């Protein structure tokens, strides 16, 4: 059995489950809730959903017609680093039920498209090109992160799931990307990451005994690498200058360097570090 195919199947199942959780939550919202501002400056809940639907369609295009995707991506990025804001503005008159239907259709088409491709196939994106497997991981990360913006807008807490491992893995894998995105050299020092999973087990990356390390709840790490929390507002234990530098600029998503969240913007949660 091809282990990569198994991983892609797992990813697509988890992506579908993450989608179902989010659309189930959206179904319970009042019409007025869709206009609530989210922590992303200038974005309402509706914008989070249109963003997911639009870039799901873009990911499907990248996997089916790379040349056309590159042409459309060039046009979009030529609008400036705030092109996601401009995309959001295009769909502010779409009704909430239509946004959910669009998101469901776009996501189903994307999952079918990715399932039909070989896991190692390469596809373009707005940052570095990636494999089909990485594309699925990135869409899961985006779904979880924008879902976090939505629940934050409503002051709703949500528990972590085993699906966070995909987000955490992407966060670890993009350490070098985060430095390069800011025109900074990638540190030579390795960082040991040890995260406490929702079931109490440990998810490790990097060499044990490294001088630089990040440890604590997996949920907190995922919030930091998706720039949904400042690392000082979490229960992460960050040791060493390279680890501290990384946590201050961590970015698991493509695009321009994100501003992240301000220190103190959210209260530190009660969950403890290991």
How far apart CA 196 and CA 203 sit, in angstroms, is 6
Give the pLDDT band (50/70/90) at residue 269: confident
Percentage with pLDDT > 70 across the chain: 97
What are 212's two structure tokens?
């630089």
Is residue 55 domain-shared with residue 144, that is, in the same domain? yes
**Residue 269 covered by a domain:** no
What are 244's two structure tokens?
């501290």
Give the pLDDT band (50/70/90) at residue 2: low
Please compute the mean of the pLDDT values over residues 1-13 and round it to a whole number.
78
pLDDT for res 1: 43
CB 186 within 8 A of CB 180: yes
Is residue 17 domain-shared with residue 149, that is, in the same domain? yes
Is residue 117 domain-shared with residue 209, that is, in the same domain? no
pLDDT for res 5: 53
Range of the domain at 138: 3-153
Choose the weakest-confidence range: 34-43, 152-161, 188-197, 254-263. 254-263
Over residues 123-139, the pLDDT tens digits come to: 999 988 999 999 999 99
Phi and psi dihedrals of 203, rounded to 5? -105, 110
Is residue 83 domain-shared with residue 193, that is, in the same domain? no
pLDDT for res 93: 97
Over residues 96-125, the pLDDT tens digits come to: 999 999 999 999 999 999 999 999 999 999
**Residue 87 covered by a domain:** yes
Over residues 46-77, the pLDDT tens digits come to: 999 999 999 999 999 999 999 999 999 999 99
Checking if the pLDDT of 4 tops 60, the result is: no
Is residue 22 domain-shared with residue 93, that is, in the same domain? yes
Is residue 138 domain-shared with residue 78, that is, in the same domain? yes
Domain boundary among 105, 124, 153: 153
Selected residue with higher pLDDT from 255 and 274? 255
Over residues 18-45, the pLDDT tens digits come to: 999 999 999 999 999 999 999 999 999 9
In the chain, how many domains are there?
A: 2
**Residue 53 covered by a domain:** yes
């Amino acid at each position: 059995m091809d282990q990569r195919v198994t991983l892609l199947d797992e990813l697509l199942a988890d992506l579908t489950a993450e989608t179902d959780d989010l659309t189930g939550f959206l179904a319970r919202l009042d019409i007025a809730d869709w206009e609530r501002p989210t922590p992303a400056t200038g974005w309402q809940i509706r914008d989070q959903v249109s963003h997911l639907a639009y870039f799901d369609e873009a990911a499907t295009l990248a996997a089916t017609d790379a040349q056309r995707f590159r042409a459309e991506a060039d046009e979009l990025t030529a609008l400036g680093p705030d092109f996601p804001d401009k995309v959001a503005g295009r769909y502010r008159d779409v009704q909430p039920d239509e946004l959910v239907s669009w998101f469901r259709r776009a996501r189903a088409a994307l999952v079918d498209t990715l399932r039909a491709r070989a896991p190692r196939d390469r596809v373009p994106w707005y940052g570095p090109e990636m494999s089909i497997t990485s594309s699925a991981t990135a869409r899961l990360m985006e779904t979880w992160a924008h879902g976090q913006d939505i629940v934050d807008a409503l002051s709703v807490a949500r528990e972590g799931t085993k699906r966070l491992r995909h987000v955490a893995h992407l966060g670890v894998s993009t350490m070098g990307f985060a430095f390069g995105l800011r025109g900074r050299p990638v540190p030579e020092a390795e960082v040991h990451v040890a995260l406490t999973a929702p079931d109490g087990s440990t998810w490790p990356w990097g060499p044990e005994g490294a001088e630089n390390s990040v440890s604590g709840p997996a949920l907190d790490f995922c919030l930091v690498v998706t720039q949904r929390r400042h690392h000082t507002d979490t229960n992460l234990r960050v040791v060493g200058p390279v680890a501290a530098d990384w946590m201050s600029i961590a970015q698991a998503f493509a695009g321009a360097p994100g501003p992240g969240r301000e220190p103190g913007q959210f209260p530190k949660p009660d969950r403890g570090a290991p």
